[in-house]
Amino acid sequence: MPFALPRMRFGPFPRFGARPAVHRGDRLMRMGRGRLGIAIGCFIAVYALIGGRLVQYGLTDLDHAGTYGVNDRILAARPDLIDRRGNLLATDIRVPALYGEPRRIIDPDEAVEALASVLPDVDYQDWHRKLSSGAGFVWLRREITPRQQAEVMALGIPGIGFREETRRFYPGGPTAAHIVGLVNIDNAGTAGIEKYVDDQGLGTLQELGLDQSDALEPVRLSIDTGVQHIVRDELVQAMQRYQAIAAGGVILNAKTGEVVAMVSLPDYDPNNPFNALDKDRLNRMSAGTFEMGSTFKAFTTAMALDSGLVTLESRFDARQPIRYGRFTINDFHAKKRILSVPETFIYSSNIATAKMAEVVGIDGHRAFLKRLGLLDRMDTQLPEVAKPLEPAEWKQLNSITISFGHGVSTTPLQTAVAAAALVNGGRLIPPSFLPRTEAEANALATQVIKAETSAMMRYLFRLNAEQGSGRRATVDGFFVGGKTGTAEKVINGRYSDDHRFNAFLAAFPMDDPEYVVLIIIDEPKPEEGQHSATAGLNAAPTVSRIIGRAVPLLGVEPRYDVTRDALLVSY
């Protein structure tokens, strides 16, 4: 918080010899000077502390000074990361590291030969160069085992020593890799929540050597390790079952914005992240942008209903394809008749959805998506967040294709966040990977659609799960609703029939949604016995399996007293 300097007024000096009168302004001036003195004292104390450290570095042996800062950071503790139930996600362990003091090495050849007798993969040339350098200190190998340490110690080589380092350990391995993130070999956070923690000030403190305490408070995350494991396990099976190149999923609390689970596959093991930077290990859920296909029809429908220009009873002519220049817009499962809004939704009609968007207009269409945060970079704790892509200029054809999910690329996570607003009463809540109460979420929420519109969307989502393409997503007793999205991918500049990006956007229970679930499957192939690979055939049943396994951990009780008609009456 910036310091506020006291206001001081300057006027004519009092006459010489006159007794100064004590006025209220003088007292305020003295008070202001006192506060200014305290502020100056604080600055001096902080700079004295930093100066003391600099003097300490200055007095350090020159050969060691080059590695002093790094060593401080290596030894510095990091706070544990725990899930919402207190289960450990990341912690510090101490491991020995091997170093050499070349000035004390008597015979580098003999030293390297001896070390190679107990350590595997010794780089003779590199180690010989280091031990012959005449330097005061060189690292030879970071993170050796206690047994290796004992064997090297038994060699008794002068100038060879050990130092304990802090190493990060992730008990769950790859289970939550893209959320917890990574630290590098110098113990600095480089991705995920680990980087977020450093960016909150820990990194600066460690670089200054001011924080080597083992008593740091753990950082509690919003995710549930059990649910996280279920989502990852089902996605691994889905990738195998549908021979997909990638998959991802997120479970979001619709009332608080907390991310309960989020997985992107392929992933990596943060304990051995040799492949973490591979292109296909990208966190697709927040750092990848995709055309989300027909799941976007939910936003188009909500926009039209919220405008007041369209009602559930409105009808749109889907008998003929839309022709625009050299482009023809058709339906995947064409009904070739006039469709009501509910029919448009459950039959996923491109033609009727595009005509709904026309009612609102191009400017209104873009403004609505922007209001839902689908066109702007999402703000959350994870550093790995991509900016959505949209046309530089929205024209009529852009609005038509965007209405059914082509032409705008956005991240799956922010698609789920926007979808939560469609079903939770119309409140857009920023996502959080840290725990948040409902009251805290309400303070951050923005009303983006009417509550009545949200009620109509809950009805449509449930209707689609009962009669439309989402039938395979249902779970008895939990009133799952949702929308499928089967999008053709752009390959070599053209939409390809053979490469699909499938998604299923779900929420449950639909009378009062507590959770939003979004699953994506990239380039799935038809399952054995199927002739197609639509989202209704692969993403929807994956959602069903995840919800069926996760509800006991999420604390959602089964109920059998809600019908679709009750949802319709509720608005």
Q: Does domain 81-220 have CATH number 3.90.1310.10?
A: yes
Dihedral pair phi/psi, residue 314, rounded to 5°: -60, 150
Catalytic residue among 294, 399, 469, 544: 294
For tokens 């590695």, what's the residue?
Answer: 67
CA dihedral for 546, 513, 519, 411, sign (positive or negative): negative
Nearest by Cα to 364 from 296, 415, 300: 300
Cα(483)–Cα(561) distance, integer angstroms: 23
Determine the topology of domain 228-570 in CATH.
Beta-lactamase (3.40.710)
Contacts of 29 (CB under 8 A, 6+ apart): 6, 8, 9
Are 455 and 481 a contacting pair, CB within 8 Å?
no
Single out the residue of 237, 284, 254 nearest to residue 554, CA to CA. Answer: 254
User: What residues in the chain have per-residue pLDDT under 50?
Assistant: 1-22, 54, 57-70
Q: Residue 409 carries which DSSP code?
A: B
Cβ density class 221-246: b for 16+ within 10 Å, e for less = bbbbbbbbbbbbebbeebbebbebeb
d(CA 297, CA 299): 5
Residue 213 burial class via C-beta count within 10 angstroms: exposed 0-12, middle 13-18, buried 19 and up: exposed
pLDDT, residue 17, reads: 41
Length reported for the chain: 571
**Structure confidence at residue 74 (pLDDT):** 58
Q: What token pair was written down for 232?
A: 């990852």
Ranges of H-type helices in 314-450:
341-346, 350-360, 362-371, 396-403, 412-423, 438-444
Closest CA to 206 of 96, 97, 77, 92: 77
Give the distance from CA 189 to its chain's centroid.
15
CA distance linking residue 137 with residue 275, whole number of Å: 30
Per-residue confidence (pLDDT) for residue 165, from 0 to 100? 81
Give the list of residues 6+ apart from residue 528 with CB closer than 8 angstroms, or none: none
Residues 6+ apart with CB under 8 A from 171: 88, 89, 90, 91
Q: How far apart are CA 424 and CA 70, in angstroms?
A: 48
Distance in angstroms (rounded) separating the CA atoms of residues 279 and 302: 36
What pLDDT, on a 0 to 100 scale, did the predictor assign at position 81? Answer: 97
Distance separating alpha carbons of residues 355 and 204, to the nearest angstrom: 55
Domain boundaries, the chain: 81-220, 228-570
CA distance 152 to 147: 9
Using CA of residue 80, residue 84, residue 85, residue 89, what is the dihedral sign? negative
Q: Confirm whether 81-220 and 228-570 share one CATH topology.
A: no
Pick left, alpha or beta for residue 73 (phi over 0 → left; psi -120 to 50 → alpha; otherwise beta). Answer: alpha
Which amino acid type is present at position 454?
Answer: S
Is 294 an annotated catalytic residue? yes
- Three-class DSSP category at 100: strand
Report how far residue 220's alpha carbon sits from residue 228's, in angstroms, rounded to the nearest whole number.
15
Nearest to 517 by CA among 535, 502, 503, 505: 505
Query: Closest by alpha carbon to 143, among 163, 113, 123?
Result: 163
Q: Which distant-in-sequence residues (6+ apart) come within 8 Å of 375 by Cβ?
A: 366, 369, 388, 390, 408, 410
Residue that has been written with the tokens 């809600």 in this structure? 562
Which CA distances in Å does 312 have to 22, 160, 276, 453, 469?
A: 76, 79, 48, 10, 19
Place of tokens 């369209």: 310
Helices 362-371 and 350-360: crossing angle in degrees, nearest 10, is 100
Cα 230 to Cα 545: distance, rounded to the nearest angstrom: 9
pTM value is 0.81
Q: What is the model's pLDDT at position 496?
A: 83
Asked if omega into 2 is within 30° of 0 (cis), the reply is: no
What is the number of other CB atoms lying within 10 angstroms of the CB of residue 269?
Answer: 15
What DSSP letter does each residue of 436-447 carry, written as one string?
A: --HHHHHHH-EE
Output the CA–CA distances (angstroms, integers) from residue 427 to 254, 419, 447, 448, 515, in the order listed.
9, 10, 4, 6, 14
Give the whole-angstrom CA distance, residue 521 versus residue 489: 12
Residue 453 CB contacts under 8 Å (≥ 6 apart), including other chains? 302, 305, 306, 426
Q: Which tokens is 274 given? A: 């040799």
